[in-house]
Amino acid sequence: MDIKRARVVVVEDEKIMSTFILTSLRRLGILDLFAFEDGATALKEVIKLKPDLIITDVHMEPVGGIEFVRQLRSLPNNQISNIPVIFLSADSSSATVGEAVPLGVSGYLVKPPNLAALSVKIENALR
């Protein structure tokens, strides 16, 4: 899939970081963007939007990124439960990464991501 045609959902609770990520995605030519502040809201909207990719923070309240992806992966609709996910977090601890990897994520980036690394992860996730 052409990265510029992708529909992307960003789940990030910090406004400044959300703006940074959305601006970065626009710089990559991605314009079909949706942003949500927590996993609970995002899950409801992802079911309706059926995005090509989800980029989510790990630590959010009331539903964090890891729980959000667990719930996503458990949905009965394979078109939704198999959406590629990239985690984006300031937390690069082996414990957190160890929780994320078994969820079948397409990547894990440490905040703030550089544009080239973000582009590579998105390209790989959309293959």
CATH number at residue 16: 3.40.50.2300
| Per-residue exposure over 13-39, b if at least 16 CB sit within 10 Å of its own CB, e if not | beeebbeebbebbeebebeebbbbbbb
Half-sphere exposure of 54 (CA within 13 A, CB side): 32
pLDDT the model gives residue 5: 95
Cis peptide before 62 (omega within 30 of 0): yes
Q: What was the pLDDT predicted at 68?
A: 96
Quick count: other Cβ atoms within 10 Å of Cβ 54? 27
Helical ranges in the chain per DSSP H: 15-27, 39-49, 65-73, 78-81, 94-100, 115-126
| Structural domain boundaries, residue 16 | 3-126
**pLDDT given at position 92:** 87
78: exposed, middle or buried (Cβ count in 10 Å: 0-12, 13-18, 19+):
exposed
Q: What local confidence, expressed as pLDDT, does residue 52 receive?
A: 98
> What pLDDT score does 73 carry?
97
| pTM as predicted | 0.96
Tally of domains within the chain? 1
Predicted local distance difference test score (pLDDT) of residue 84: 97
What is the pLDDT at residue 101? 87
Task: List per-residue pLDDT tens for the chain, 127 residues long.
Answer: 889 999 999 999 999 999 999 999 999 999 999 999 999 999 999 999 999 999 999 999 999 999 999 999 999 999 999 999 999 999 989 999 889 889 999 999 999 999 999 999 999 999 9
Cβ(3)–Cβ(122) below 8 Å: yes
What are the angstrom distances between the C-alpha of 52 and each of 89, 93, 104?
20, 28, 15
